[in-house]
Structure 1
């Protein structure tokens, strides 16, 4: 029987082939470039956003940040820009998969090959409930303690394409984050000789950093999510459950917010 202690402990791994100095340097350069192009730069920008919000006259709990926003006053241009943003995130995910594949680590190895209902979708639904329900409580508590901004998940105009676009955003967000922040980063840190626990914390810190624009509550909540998701992947080598869970959480947030806005008092 698997105990909580077993789950919290890193899974045993075969020692990685030692890298020479040139290969280590090349790998660090690759990681740095990938993160500066993607979520590392987002993390730095998010820290500046939090600092700006903290220096504003109004308390954090009286400020609002919107996630999905209109990108043009013209409907078709807005739609086109939304789709370009979605494609960019999917391209980030593809970049991570491609770089791992070029180094001999194919999608099957990281658990991102053909998904299965029992092994991927159902665990993903369970993870979504495990993260999403307590996460809502943490958000409300952080806002009450003035540690978080009001988060408006989606303020897109009510065009015919709003709903499918919100779902596509959720899928693109989940694919990019789980591929790069979990599978790519932890795999590369393993190759550099980092321990499973150290790699896990680095991945979770990255995830928390680029959510700091929401406040300290958003950063901490996503750090905890990163620990759970990262350990799940380390234990199972299945990436699809994380993608499914993340996409479900974001879809419920985006679509649910639009449906409940104006009907629930605690929603901005």
Structure 2
């Protein structure tokens, strides 16, 4: 456990050294947030000031919370593990004293913690100044919101890991990553609130882990759901985290056997 926390802290420190990239990321995140806010606010205005439960302030809050989560959940996916598999460096990772998935998770948490603080909160402050945002005042809601963020990062990590682990059998995973990223950004509720989907697509989306990555933490932090309603939503997040963790573990074990058969 001590090794896990040391790796987490080292990952946080590593990303904190990229100051120029952080500033550039904050600027880009803020600009795209303004673009998204203008589009959603126009949609709400066209609908008469309210669209499926979202008024102007709630729509703006949705946008800026989504922008805050963009970097921590890594909504555009990663390819580092897939590249290490293709290059053979994964063999070194498998020999480390800390399990492969725990190692990657510790690095993910450290990276996400920095990205949330350095690239997530500043755009929210920009949004609060320019469009206004609505956040809960109840401390319990904040605690549940932080838990929802942690589970969102965990679910996103595990789903992305499944895509990366496909590299054990697929020589080129770029296409798979592109498809996954497109589906994730749509069904997670990052592009538009899931409530704005057609009813049939809402039902389909709720049967996937994607809403747990973005929509659920936004709903909890924006107080769109009460504390009593937030608990089942967080429970669904935890359920998906467990299911995906088992799937990632099983896929890794199959991948290790495949690596050994091929001469690893």
* Greater relative contact order (Cα < 8 A, sep 6+): 1
TM-score by length of 2: 0.31
TM-score by length of 1: 0.31
